Structure 1
Amino acid sequence: MAMPVQGGSEGLHEWRLEEARHLIEKAGKGSLESLVMVDALQRLGIAYHFEEETQILLQEQLHISTFDGHPSRSSNNIFQSFMIKEDNYSGYVFDLKLCKDIFGLTSLYEASHLGVQAEDILDEAADFTRRALSLSADKFLYVGNGMSSQVLGELVRKTLSNPFHKSMPRFNSMSFQYYFTGPYEWTRTIGELAILDSNLVQSINQTEIRQISKWWTDLGLAKELKFAGDQPMKWYMWPMAILSDPSLSQERVDLTKAIAMIYIIDDVFDVYGSPNELILFAQTINRKFEP
């Protein structure tokens, strides 16, 4: 596949997308590599480009996938394979030999956050891996995949503080890029695509911020109601977080405007507002949001 000579970063981004799509199609369906690839795509914040392809890969799995967000009830049997019967204990406990595999521990810790009520074994997995990883975080020696002990320790600490399934992938993708490595032929392409995608998304977010700032300035409420909040960046953060798909640009802008009005209404009616200011406020809202 020839690299484009024109089109700048967007052209390179499109080229990397097609290259990555080709590599995904080559991944062995039902293999460990295919799951590692899906996991990497999600953690790098670029899985939205390949929803159909990743679903095909995941559907090939006969057992639980810790990456699709919907673990099956067969998970208990799978986790029990990591447990042994202890002599002085009536039940089973997680095998301490698992502590030798740091990457396996982090995966088990991540999977434990997908548990539902009454899945006690996942609670046990969370407790076991949390303690094991916490004890190991500052004691790593150089490991075989080329990752230094310092970097691996930092990866473990970030995993403990921000489990993937309880975090926002877009915000964590940049740090994951730093740790992203592997023996597969697609590693470099996926990593480069993630960087290009992050840059393009950042450009889109900056454009939206400029639109919102202009709207807020033109609205004039910051000048008329000096006691009210003047925080367009704060209002934009929530839409940016929950509507992470770059194609939802207008939705993010519209939601930010609604959030801004909610904050202003709160300031006007709960904090301070004279009759004249309340009349001015109501007139402004009606004028700006009438059909």
Structure 2
Amino acid sequence: MPVYSMTGYASALGQPPQNPDQVPAPQLAVELRSVNGRFLDLSLRLPDELRHLEPPIRDAIAQGIRRGKVELRIAAGREGDHALPRLNPGTLDQLAELQSQLRARFPSASPFAVQELLHWCRQGSTQPAWDDGWLLKLVQQCVDGLREARAREGDRLTLILLDKIAQLRVLAERAEPLVPAVVQRHQERFLQRWQEALNQAGALAHAELSEAARERALSEAAAHAIRIDVAEELARLRAHLDEIEAQLRKGGELGKRLDFLIQELHREANTLGSKSTALELSAISVDMKVLIEQMREQVQNIE
């Protein structure tokens, strides 16, 4: 399944079926645009004569779009200001009869001007009849177009995220060989400082106390090594990266799951930085957090 972005735009333009017994209906333009959102938030802008179609239009959108702030606009084409109206013989007969009555009552009255006649023909035009089934098909066509646009944007987001995942794997590989050396270095430093503290306290004068102190120092050094060891954090970070990559290749509605996994990635990178007592690991932790934040921004746009 594709990965869908919540950002997209689509439009559809169509001419309703013409009925020679009715006023020809103008073209209809349907526009759909969407941006990211936690839930599905629909906003419809319809002509008054199409308000009765709001429930089926909402259903058509909800079946194809799961999340995002979606706005639909339907607009009917209008004749330009200088376009001639479609003359209705019945309206012309009524205007001719009205003019005859006026001239009979007011002989000096001026006859209707052409501009006035055209104005009344426009005003006298009846509302065209809309084909509801045809209109819903046009809306569905637009929904399908929006899904295709969101899928294309989703493909782009997937490539960006996979690239960030690859960069994070490189950083994890750089950090892994540093961990044993960092742990050993800090163990040695810890024991050295412990020995210096004993020397200053004069504890070396007593052999038994010195031996006990050394055992205690080794125990404390081992505990300290466990506290600063980030091997588990790196292992969990790799596991989260594997899961994110698997979800992206699987596709579907995965935005919320990815958002949770991004939080877990950020937690591991933070722990790596807080445990680190080496400049190299601290720099890697900062680079990881920058990449993870960039991933979070992209994941917020995925359905």
TM-score, scaled relative to structure 2: 0.30
Point out the structure with the larger strand share.
2
**Rg comparison, structure with higher value:** 2
